[in-house]
């Protein structure tokens, strides 16, 4: 690019000089022709005769006199003078053009290198980028121009990649730890319990193995669902989110998740609203919110699911709110609950029936549907999770 810019600068300078010289030659030739014409007219008219004597240079002496010139000789002499003047002008102009083009090329090479220097910095930074030094940034200094915008855009991309790599490393480490736990429990049961278990202990050992296997199955299912929602939605279909919420709440109340506190009550208030998305993923979204509200609750507690249109834009947005009673959650830990394998405070850690993927899967599914998910700690205990989804229609009735 530097060579191309230099050739461009030199070519533009050459073209400008040629145009300028063409104009100069045209005007000079016209002026010289006019001068010769005036001399000939004066000489022929007889009004003013000018005697011009031409002799060899070596014969010129002080007081030497030559023969007068005829009008034809004067014409030839003037044309010769004109041709000589133009030839000298062309030669001088050619030298001047060469010098100017050379100067413009040198200056263009220097200017192109100076302008393209930030590109070399960006290129070398990108070439040396890897997972080990992804925290480094270009931080290009200078005026706010196109190259500065390019460097800032590159730094922004590195910020997003850095966060993605950090999240991925943390996710892999947590997943490895969570997968190791049920496998270690199963290995311990097989190696220790079965080696010394009597016939009367077989049923208890089988239940322990089944519980560990169910935990591992839930963890793998959550990881697969998280990966599926992270890949986006290839197809979208109309889904009645109110019907989904009612069905999920009814099933959860009929068969509460293992580890649910006794006497937890639930209710649903849903307007008939339709969203475009994947029904399986949306069902899992509501199911995770409901199960989370039931698992992290207190005895005799409650949870409520509300589906309504956004008051600000009822035609374009659906809001699903799941609130519940429970232990008090610190406000500064709410955002971290959406991280994979994060269970929060000690009160929530005491309930370890889940894999810590519930709210992480919720956020991933919501983002796959172009929505948002936020959580707020209730002052008297528990959480309120609000999910916003793009809608395809206005509410018709309520129930």
pTM of the model: 0.53
Task: Give pLDDT, residue 314.
Answer: 52
- In the chain the beta strands, taken as DSSP E runs, fall at 237-240, 265-270, 274-277, 302-309, 317-324, 372-377, 383-390
Closest CA to 387 of 302, 247, 299, 284: 284
For 215, counting Cβ atoms within 10 Å of its Cβ (0-12 exposed, 13-18 middle, 19+ buried), the class is buried
Round to whole Å and give the CA distance between 211 and 204.
11
**Pairing relationship of beta strands 302-309 and 265-270 according to DSSP bridges:** parallel
Across the strands, what pairs with 53? 68
Task: Give pLDDT, residue 227.
Answer: 67
Report pLDDT digits (tens) over 166-225: 767 766 766 676 677 677 777 777 777 677 777 777 778 778 778 777 777 776 776 676
Segment of 80-84, 300-304, 314-318 carrying the highest mean pLDDT: 300-304
- Give the angle subtended at the CA of 393 by the CAs of 390 and 395, to the nearest 5°: 105
Task: Give pLDDT, residue 399.
Answer: 36
Segment of 125-134, 222-231, 327-336 carrying the highest mean pLDDT: 327-336
When pLDDT is averaged across residues 134-144 and rounded to a whole number, the result is 76
Task: Give pLDDT, residue 385.
Answer: 92
Q: How many CB atoms lie within 10 A of CB 230?
A: 12
Task: Give pLDDT, residue 338.
Answer: 78
What's the token pair of residue 267? 């209710």
Q: How confident is the model at residue 51 (pLDDT cuts 50, 70, 90)?
A: very low
Q: Are 270 and 307 in contact (CB under 8 A)?
A: yes
- Decide if pLDDT at 11 tops 70: yes
Return the higher-pLDDT residue of 335 and 297: 297
Task: Give pLDDT, residue 302.
Answer: 94
Query: Each residue of 285-308: b (16+ CB within 10 Å) or e?
Result: bbbbbbbbbbbbbbeebbbbbbbb
Round to whole Å and give the CA distance between 163 and 157.
10
Q: Are 85 and 31 in contact (CB under 8 A)?
A: no
Return the higher-pLDDT residue of 38 and 75: 75
Q: Are 74 and 92 in contact (CB under 8 A)?
A: no
Query: What are the residues whose beta carbons fall under 8 Å from the beta carbon of 10, sequence distance 6 or more?
Result: 101, 104, 105, 108
The SS3 assignment for 377 reads strand
Taking CA atoms, 194 is separated from 181, 182, 184, 268, in Å, by 19, 17, 14, 46
- Decide if pLDDT at 322 tops 90: yes
Q: Is the dihedral of CA 320, 396, 283, 312 positive or negative?
A: negative
Across the strands, what pairs with 389? 318
Edge-to-edge strand list for the sheet holding 265-270: 265-270, 302-309, 317-324, 383-390, 372-377
- Decide if pLDDT at 43 tops 70: no
- Decide if pLDDT at 348 tops 50: no
Which structural domains are found in the chain, ordered by start? 2-127 (no CATH), 236-390 (3.30.565.10)
Round to whole Å and give the CA distance between 23 and 21.
5
Round to whole Å and give the CA distance between 244 and 382.
23
Tell me the backbone φ, ψ of residue 228, rounded to 5 degrees: -65, -45
The SS3 assignment for 133 reads coil
């Amino acid at each position: 690019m530097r060579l191309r810019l230099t050739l461009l600068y030199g070519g533009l300078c050459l073209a400008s000089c040629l145009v300028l010289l063409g104009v100069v030659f045209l005007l000079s030739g016209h002026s010289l022709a006019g001068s010769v014409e005036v001399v000939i007219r004066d000489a022929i008219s007889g009004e003013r005769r000018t005697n011009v004597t031409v002799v060899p240079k070596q014969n010129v002496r002080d007081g030497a006199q030559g023969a007068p010139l005829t009008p034809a000789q004067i014409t030839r002499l003037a044309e010769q003078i004109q041709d000589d003047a133009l030839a000298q002008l062309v030669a001088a102009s050619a030298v001047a053009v060469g010098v100017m083009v050379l100067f413009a090329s040198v200056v263009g090479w220097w200017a192109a290198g100076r302008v393209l220097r930030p590109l070399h910095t960006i290129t070398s930074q990108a070439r040396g980028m890897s997972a080990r030094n992804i925290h480094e940034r270009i931080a290009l200094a200078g005026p706010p121009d196109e190259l500065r915008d390019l460097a800032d855009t590159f730094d922004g991309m590195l910020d997003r990649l850095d966060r993605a790599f950090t999240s991925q490393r943390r996710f892999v480490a947590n997943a490895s730890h969570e997968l190791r736990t049920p496998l270690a429990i199963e290995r311990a049961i097989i190696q220790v319990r079965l080696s010394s278990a009597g016939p009367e202990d077989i049923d208890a050992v089988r239940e322990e193995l089944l519980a560990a296997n169910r935990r591992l199955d839930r963890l793998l299912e959550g990881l697969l669902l998280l990966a599926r929602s992270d890949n986006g939605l290839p197809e979208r279909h109309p889904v009645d989110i109110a019907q989904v919420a009612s069905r999920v709440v009814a099933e959860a109340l009929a068969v509460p998740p293992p580890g649910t506190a006794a006497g937890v009550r639930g209710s649903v208030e849903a307007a008939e609203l339709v969203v475009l998305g994947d029904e399986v993923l949306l069902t899992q979204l509501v199911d995770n919110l409901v199960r989370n509200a039931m698992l992290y609750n207190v005895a005799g507690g409650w949870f409520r699911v509300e589906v309504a249109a956004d008051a600000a834009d009822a035609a374009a947005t659906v809001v699903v709110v799941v609130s519940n009673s429970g232990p008090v959650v610190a406000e500064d830990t709410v955002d971290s609950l959406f991280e994979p394998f994060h269970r929060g405070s000690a009160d929530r850690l005491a309930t370890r029936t889940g894999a810590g993927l519930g709210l992480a899967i919720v956020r991933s599914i919501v983002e796959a549907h172009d929505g948002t998910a936020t959580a707020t700690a209730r002052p008297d205990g528990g959480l309120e999770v609000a999910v916003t989804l793009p809608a395809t229609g206005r509410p018709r009735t309520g129930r």
